[in-house]
Amino acid sequence: MGNSASNGKRSLEMEFHNILSATLFFLIFLTCNAANSKLFREYVGAELDSIKLSDVPINSSVEFHFILAFAVDYTNDNHPSPTNGKFNIFWETNNLGPDQIASIKDSNSNVQIAVSLGGDSVGEDKAFFAPNSRASWVENAVSSLTDMINHYHIDGIDIDYEHFSTSPEIFAECIGQLIMSLKKSGTISFASIAPFEDIKSHYLALWKKYGHVIDYVNFQFYAYNKLSVPQFIRNFNDQASNYGGGQLLASFQSGGGGGLRPDNGFFEACNELKDQGKLGGIFIWCADESKANNFQYEKKSQALLAA
């Protein structure tokens, strides 16, 4: 009788131990995979007028964002000049118009479209963020972008200003208020930023005050000099700390650039980040350049995210 009770107690203790171990393992698994995402994003339209959305392979198992590059608040003429928030289209529209965008979205339920604002240059000149005042810039930007977003079936915006004639604080207020207004009206469902190390002061000021309305961080890791796998991961962790709580994507430039190249360890680094539960997605600059290599890295990136 005593042995039977003792055996039963040990059995219950063993069962409890097994349940506790399984629960802890499950919680650890969830924690390790909490930040991983199947988000793939690609800039398009900045360089080739022949690029088509339908050229790019789309894996149905990922969340796919095309990012139109660019819309800029400059005049679209022979002598571009700032327009104080009145945005014009600077992406190649031959094959990236409303009909083509509607078609790719109808054919692929996992595809969404963003428009990137700013970029490096307009024509031969640098594209500066140059508001006349916060209130007037925000009012003009909300109005012009709402019309553009509705006409082109766009779902979100990406902030990619790289030159500034105003302070980080004014940049933060203008962009933060723009995102909040477009989200509040239901015009957009997501927003991202595309910083790199040399311009971090403006983007960190934005993140500090308005990070709660920014969904993705497209950090331009290819703006670094050539990186090894450990260097890339160290830089990724540094930026994850800078943009704490943000969904940080790994990135490369398909036609060259610095950072960690896709044929030199990028996917190894991504797998390591994925194993650590840190990979918030992958983005590529850009489809225009990838066309020459038959989009091999787009296929590989999406397969990695989908696995």
What is the DSSP track for 88-99? EE-S--SS-SHH
Check if the beta carbon of residue 253 is closer than 8 Å to that of residue 290.
no
For residue 152, give the DSSP letter: T
Indicate the angle between helix axes 229-242 and 266-275, nearest 10 degrees.
50
162 in active site: yes
Taking phi over 0 as left and psi of -120 to 50 as alpha, with beta for the rest, 47 belongs to: alpha
Distance in angstroms (rounded) separating the CA atoms of residues 102 and 204: 35
Distance in angstroms (rounded) separating the CA atoms of residues 277 and 34: 6
What amino acid occupies position 98? P
Asked whether the bond before 16 is cis by omega within 30 degrees of 0, the reply is no
Residue linked to tokens 């590059």: 69
72 phi, psi to nearest 5 deg: -135, 145
Query: Helical H runs in the chain?
Result: 2-33, 98-107, 134-151, 168-184, 200-210, 229-242, 266-275, 287-290, 296-306
Question: Which residue in 42, 162, 173, 298 is the catalytic one?
Answer: 162
The set of residues, in sequence order, having a beta carbon less than 8 Å from that of 225 and lying 6+ positions away, is: 258
Residues annotated catalytic, as ranges: 162
